[in-house]
Amino acid sequence: MEAIPRREFERLVAAALDEMPPQLMRLMDNVAVVVADRHPTEDLLGLYEGVPLTERGDYGGMVMPDVVTLYRLPLCEFARDEDELVGEVMVTVVHEIAHHFGIDDDKLHEWGWG
């Protein structure tokens, strides 16, 4: 599908985050969720950059937040229509947040979120 405007895409991301269980969202620690047009070198729909909760150890102080990035243009290109885009944004949000909790791609694929 043709790319939707950035603000509209950001609203889709916010709606996906609002659909996440509140109990889960309360467990997230020091994470920023951002939108970018494309990853500079790879063809990705989303990316988690940070230290998963399962590996943090002595985490704290003045540590920069982990970052979950959703890539607007590849997600729009991947979807056939806006309904499919809404679903793909949700899957990508779940996928990248799962990495924050230490869940790897193999486990996500096993659960049907790959």
Q: Which pLDDT value is given to residue 97?
A: 95
For the chain, give the number of residues: 114
Q: Which amino acid is it at 69?
A: T
- φ, ψ of residue 111 to 5 degrees: the values are -85, -5
pTM: 0.91
pLDDT confidence bin for 64, thresholds 50/70/90: confident
Q: Return the H-helix or E-strand segment holding 47.
A: strand 46-49
- Predicted local confidence at residue 43, as pLDDT: 96
Q: Please say if the pLDDT value at position 32 is more than 90.
A: yes
Residue with the two structure tokens 């070198």: 41
Please give the pLDDT value at position 108.
Answer: 86
Does position 112 have pLDDT exceeding 90, yes or no?
A: no
17 vs 59 pLDDT, higher one: 17
For the chain, what are the domain ranges?
6-53+65-110
Answer whether CATH 3.20.20.110 is correct for domain 6-53+65-110: no
**Residue among 88, 100, 112 at smallest CA distance from 16:** 88
